[in-house]
Amino acid sequence: MVKKEIAIVDIGSMSVSVMVGERGVNGTFRIKGKGVAEYAGFQSGKFLEPDQVKYAVALAISNAETAYNGKISELVVGVPGEFSSVICRDVSISLNKKRKISDNDLKQLYFAGNIYKKHPTHVVINQSPIYFVLDDGSKVIEPRGMVSSKLGGLVSYVLAENNFVDFMDRILSELGIKKVTYLSSCLAEMMHLFDPSTRDRYAILVDCGYITTSVMLVRGDGLLFLNSFSMGGGYITGDLSQCLKISFPEAESLKRKVVLSWDAKDSDTYEVQGKEFISPYSAKATNQIVEDRVDMIASYIIRCLDRCEFEYPAYIPIYLTGGGLNYIRGIKDYLSRKLGRRVELAQPSLPHANRPDYSSEIGLLDLAIDNYEDDKFLIAR
């Protein structure tokens, strides 16, 4: 298949990112253009300043088009976890006789399990397999070409809120985007960050952003569980600003200085460069403020995982990505103690795009290109 340039828009809780790219060599990408625009974000499944979203999306598209030196007419929109739900269903179809399983059989299996076509509040945007089951009861990850008289499996369906989809449809139509496809940001992240062998053994991913955090359990090519809550790294900045009575930019700079593994004494300080002079802040007080908020985020993560109906191995770590917590030094060990489980940091392993806050947009580009090139039936809308 001829290479195709794909444009994606990542709706973050702090900024909107638009990226145009194509598949490169050895699993890399050629990024042809990127545009970013900050905005108020969203909280509890609602945009904080809905009237400003269009301007942020328009600016991000415009900036990307300038860098790309071309016009964007098609977009793949990433749906954030706060606007998404995941439902897993056991599905089975008869193949009438023993024969080789084809791509079309997989498509029929997904279709049979999709009972949400007339859902009043949500629409299915992605469908993907956790595992497949053959007529002898054996579970397999890749059934194509295998011989069986029936095909079953556990299928993951990601549903997006109609309100989000309709809202984005209106905005992008007004901006002249002719074709819009929706893709789960969380599904995209986990497909990009974890190799197939890791996914087959289960994996827990926590994406902590600026205002929102998503907790997901993955297996195979699908999400088993997804839950989100409105709290992230921006809350730490807000706490520092309020408690220390400093400006938000100063608080953000101070947060970047924090070392949670430091047993700071009363006389120890962090120094932040201001416009005219360097300001010292108590390291002990600063660490305590940060720890209190991280403790709260950790308690919400535990609460999310407690809601998961699926069992998973006790030994697998929790992978942390996103720009909310990963930049705080010592966060891995601190969260490991609070969560009672080993924590590892996750980010794309690409040159010039290996930051944890790139996980969502790079994952979206990766999965959008995969879906175009390989026709994996991930996009159902």
Establish if 231 belongs to a structural domain. Answer: no
Q: Where does the pLDDT of residue 29 fall: very low under 50, low under 70, confident under 90, or very high at 90 and above?
A: confident
User: Are residues 59 and 97 located together in one domain of the fold?
Assistant: no
Note whether 146 and 28 are same-domain residues: no
Domain membership flag for residue 90: yes
Entry pTM: 0.92
Using one digit for the tens of pLDDT, what is the confidence trace for 60-85? 999 999 999 999 999 999 999 999 99
**pLDDT single digits (tens) 119-144:** 999 999 999 999 999 999 999 999 99
* pLDDT surpassing 50 at residue 45: yes
Quick check: 98 pLDDT over 80? yes
Mean pLDDT, residues 234-259:
95
Backbone angles phi, psi at 173, to 5 degrees: -65, -45
Q: Are 68 and 178 within one domain?
A: yes
pLDDT at 370: 84
Can you give the residue range of the structural domain that contains 100?
A: 85-159
311-343 residue pLDDT tens:
999 999 999 999 999 999 999 999 999 999 999
248 pLDDT band (50/70/90 cuts)? Answer: very high
229 pLDDT higher than 50: yes
- Summarised one tens digit per residue, pLDDT across range 157-208 is 999 999 999 999 999 999 999 999 999 999 999 999 999 999 999 999 999 9
State the pLDDT at residue 210: 94
The reply to whether 380 falls in a domain is: no
Say which residue the tokens 């999400």 belong to. 223
* Counted domains in the chain: 2
Same domain, 63 and 182: yes
Residues 154 and 181 in one domain: no
Per the domain annotation, does 312 fall within a domain? Answer: no
Average pLDDT of the segment spanning 34-43: 94
Encode 344-376 in three state secondary structure. EECCCCECCECCHHHHHHHHHHHHHHHHHHHCC
* Domain CATH for 44: 3.30.420.40
Mean per-residue pLDDT for 281-287? 96
Task: Tell whether 31 and 171 lie within a shared domain.
Answer: yes
Give the range among 69-73, 343-347, 372-376 with minimum mean pLDDT.
Answer: 372-376
Of 140, 159, 178, the residue that ends a domain is 159
Is position 213 within any domain? no
What is the C-alpha separation between 9 and 18, in angstroms, rounded? 4
DSSP code at position 81: G
Q: What is the pLDDT of residue 204?
A: 97
The CA distance from 199 to 218, in Å, is 6
The confidence score (pLDDT) of residue 275 equals 73
User: In this structure, what DSSP letter does residue 83 have?
Assistant: G
pLDDT at 223 over 90: yes
Residue 203: inside a domain, yes or no? no
Phi, psi of 357 (to 5 degrees): -80, 0
Confidence grade of residue 373 (pLDDT, cut at 50, 70, 90): low
Work out the mean pLDDT of the chain and round it to a whole number: 92
Q: Report the DSSP beta bridge partners of residue 21.
A: 6, 31
CATH number reported for the structural domain that contains residue 139 in this entry: 3.30.1490.110
Confidence of residue 28 (pLDDT cuts 50, 70, 90): confident
284, pLDDT greater than 90:
yes
> Where does a domain end: 104, 134, 159?
159
Same domain, 62 and 185: yes
Q: What percent of the chain has pLDDT over 70?
A: 96
Region 17-25 average pLDDT: 90
- Domain membership of residue 68 (yes or no) is yes
- Residue 274: the pLDDT is 75
Task: Count the neighbouring beta carbons within 10 Å of the beta carbon of residue 76.
Answer: 24
Per-residue buried b or exposed e for 164-178, using 16+ beta carbons within 10 Å of the residue's own CB: bbebbeebbeeeebe
| Together in a domain, 77 and 174 | yes
> pLDDT value at position 3?
57
Instruction: Inform me whether the pLDDT recorded for 381 exceeds 50.
Output: no
In a domain, 189, yes or no: yes
Do 53 and 103 reside in the same domain of the chain? no
Where in 101-250 does DSSP place strands (E)?
Answer: 122-133, 139-140, 147-161, 179-184, 203-208, 213-219, 222-229
